[in-house]
Structure 1
Amino acid sequence: MLKKPRATSSPALRYFGDSRSRSIWQWQLMIGITVLAIGLGVALLTPARFGDWRFSVGVFAILALTIIALAVPWHRFGNGGVFVLPLLDTLAIALIALGDTAAATFLWVFPVAWVASYYSVGILVGLMSLIAILRITNLFLLGLTVETTINMVILLITLSFVGVSTSVGAERNRSSRRLLRGQSDRLAHALQRVNEQKARTRRLLDSLDIGIARVGAGGVLEVSNRAFHAIFDIELGAHSHPTRAVEYRTRRGEPVPNNETSIARASRGELFADEIVWLFGIDGQWRAIKTSTKQIDHGTVTDDGLLLIVEDVTASIDPQAGQEATRRSISHELRNPLTAILGHIDLLLERDDLLPSVRDQLDVVEHAGTRMQTLIDQALATPGKREEAGVEFDLADVARASVEAFSPAADTAGVTVDVRLDEPLCVCGDAFRLRQVVDNLVGNAIKYAQRGGRVSVQGLRPTDHEVGLRISDTGIGIAAEDLPRIFEREFRTQAARDSGIPGTGLGLHISHNIVIAQGGRMEVVSEPGQGTELTVILPALQRNPSEEHVPFEGERA
């Protein structure tokens, strides 16, 4: 009975790409090359041997079978069709042996080993019986003697040993392969279950309103849910500290040093519960956050890190925050339909077939819509009354604090940050909003500089009445056609999208609005592949030289 061959991946698979076909080639080539070598040796040493038609026919039959084996599409034949090859090889070797070349009988090792490797014991016994019949017939034709009888017995015993050993070894190999395939299938199934469980856990975590993250060494967020990303203003795909949201001990109070933030403390394994910190996010909003850490492994701090649990409790601590959020949400929702209305009005005004009266009416609607859009922008960008009062502070101190906060991110990204803030840059304005601007620009510069790049933060005085901060990088740069639009809301350059670097397109828009509201301006110079240079210019603080600068309450020492 034939042993079932291993199924190929596709019935239409070409024979030269089929492992089964390659195995047939290997066996037949071994026989063919061996017989070819014997034929060449005989041709050089005793060419008269080819005068025996039996020897010549046997040799050329083997070579012909080898050529045919390389051309036949074996993936279309079963094991029964393949068995024809070793059977014909056996008969051809018998012809070679009849041609006064008794030693050629040991060539039967090849077809015997071939059949033993891929066929059942019954087929192997049948082949051995055929060889015995051929050999006995040959002995009776040539004359039976004691020596030829002994040689025949030795030959049959040797071939039987080779066949049995090969058959046992092949069966063990097949059993091992079946075992490995079974284990591989079980591992693949187990991995699939793990991935499905991981996906279910991720969906469960993302459905929670509280933020949860597993914090590893160095502040790496190994696992974090959607609420955690929203609270700490973390971009999709980012897993390192610091986040873009600045942490403060109290509202508009002292900034928390980078090594004392909630994430940094959790990375060191510190345990704390229900501690309140304030976050100043990229959207310019203050949020009161209740933070706690939990041990993962039965009360023992392990290499798995800690769970950091955060909850936005702004509404309960600051009732006005809920009203502010509602106002901003309504303003934001009004923006989308208003933008659509103004867009269609622009399209109508471009038509040449409008009556003058209709055009005048559309102009009125456009002016009203533009005014409403301006009011909405102000509602979205203007901070609360408590934040409107300006304070005196040093912009250089704000920049140093921002660079210090982003140092771990720069180290992780392999970016070198060069700071040149040698003189005070005194201004009067909203220090917290301008810190947001600096954080946006420094964070973007590090992000787009990429590994091996450089970022420069430099103070400057364009005029006697102005101070500035120039932040440049050696990153991907901005194309000339994109420069006029970089301050538009949610605009991202094609190069940034193609690079796969995460972003929302809000940072520069918000930063530009803040700088304009502070009476300043922003300038940008960029070249694709060479980097970008962004400069923030603000009115300098005008005062008498004898006046002593008093730091604002949130300024770093």
Structure 2
Amino acid sequence: MGRFARFSFFRTIQAKLIIIYVLLILIAMQLIGVYFVSAMKNSLTSNFTEDLQARAEMLSVLVGETMAGGEAEAGEDKTENLRVLVNNLFNINGAEIQVLDASGKVLTTSLSSHSDYIGRKNTQTVVSRALQGIRDNEEYIVDEDNVRKKVVAKPVLAGGKIIGAVYIAASMNELYATMEGINKIFISGILIALVLTAVLGVILSHTITQPIKEVTRRATAVAEGNFDQQTPVFGTDEIGQLSRAFNYMTSRLRDALSQNEEEKEKLTSILTNMSDGVVATDEYGKVILVNRRASSILGMRPSDIEGRHFAVLLGIDPEDAEALASGFTGSTLLQIAPAGQEEPVVIRMTFTPVHRRELGITGTIAVLQDVTEQEELEASRREFVANVSHELRTPLTTIKSYAEALDDGALEDPQLAGRFVGVIQNETERMIRLVTDLLHLSRLDSKEALLRKQPIDILEMLEEVTDRFSFQMHQKDIQSVLSVEHDIPPVPLDRDQIDQVLDNVVSNALKYTLEGGTITIAARRSDEHTLAISVSDTGMGIPQRDLDRIFERFYRVDKARSRSMGGTGLGLSIAREIVKAHDGSISLESEVDVGTTVTFTLPMRDKGGEHLEGTD
């Protein structure tokens, strides 16, 4: 834990500032030290060399005078003079001075320890160069004792001739000792400067980092949801500007989050109360949001929907799911079977990808609409249009065929022409009936017709219906039975409309009842406020599979036979609409080869509305 704390300290701005200060001072002092030491070394070495060169030059002059003016002197006197000159006048501490003759032999030396060198030849390069007349000769050597020395050699001239050389090898230990002492002083200064810099760095960095720590602490509180934080402003510098900017940001953030919460509440309320289902997925296709309507359409609880892949949830093919995930925008129809429901439903799904800047597609929004009823209505409309087209095309084709036959010469045959004209008239009347029924349905659908309700005696109305069809029943030897319950009061209804209902139902019973059959018209109370009127026959009946569609427009059980009997296929549809307009209901029960019973109910009390409700 302590090691981690130490590492954490070195990651702080305070530590970084201290390290930067120390490094700056260290680098500056190093640069200055390198330059100073180098300059000092060059200066000391140069001075040392110049002094040595001057001494060697002067010594070479004196030695030349001594060796040249001593022709009258004995050799021993010359050597003694040279020894005195070397040991007394030009004695240099830590240096060896040698005087050489023209052949390079040592005549005398300043070091008594090197007395055995006398008479021996000095073969060093600087000596050879000096004996050749080169005056600028110096060399840096390290002797056997690891002592660094500066070697200088000067030629000795007399009368323009080289008669010898002066050799000086001076130790540089004192010079390097001086430089080492200066270096120690310089290093001590650097260390003292670094310590002072570190102390000042701590103080200065604290003045910078303390406001930053305060801003950090306030920012952490804001991140945790406390937007009442205000950072104190310590000055007008950059940190003060940062504090003011933080306070401004906090207030703006508080307002933005408040507005965001308000918008979120609005969005949640909208999603919850939408009539369409909404399903939101993430970039991987997993459901992350579902509203109440979507869960109702799918027949599942929201908790069971969230987290599932939308393709599995909605039964979408993997290829389609991949297209949606890649940004496909559009809608499609799907038939699904919601949990807990027997009948499947048709839903329209509209997909919209969710884009985020620099990240691309991050999810998908699917809007679900239950269009089961709309699709059923659309299918009914298409079927209705197809049926109308077929019903109109058949008589028109017949009329066209017979008209062409008349035009081709059948008109010349009175008997044949009369029969053709009769067919044309029958087909024309059939078209008129069809168009009339369509117009009647159109008025009912468009609310253009009015119900003119009046109290009607039910027994009298049913007797008139029986009388209207008595001739046709007599022709087919069909017996009619009328049964009306006693004490049925007059019922408010539109007599013309109900007469049409009865005519359509009785006409169907008459068409499909064989000779010798029976048609029964009955009226009774189904309850205290409802009248039930039924028409029963002993005809061929209707198969069970057709009962659910018998009230659809243009639907026929036996299409060929119904059309040949002049029916339009709209009679029961019109009857149903009229009964619904009276706030009643109509139903049909049938058994093949036994008979059919059509029953419709009417309210016995007027609700006060004269217009058809829901239809016209």
- Greater RCO structure (CA 8 Å; 6+ sep): 1
State whether TM-score is above 0.5: no
Q: Which of the pair has more CA radius of gyration?
A: 2
**TM-score in terms of structure 1 length:** 0.32
**TM-score in terms of structure 2 length:** 0.29
| Larger strand proportion of the pair | 2
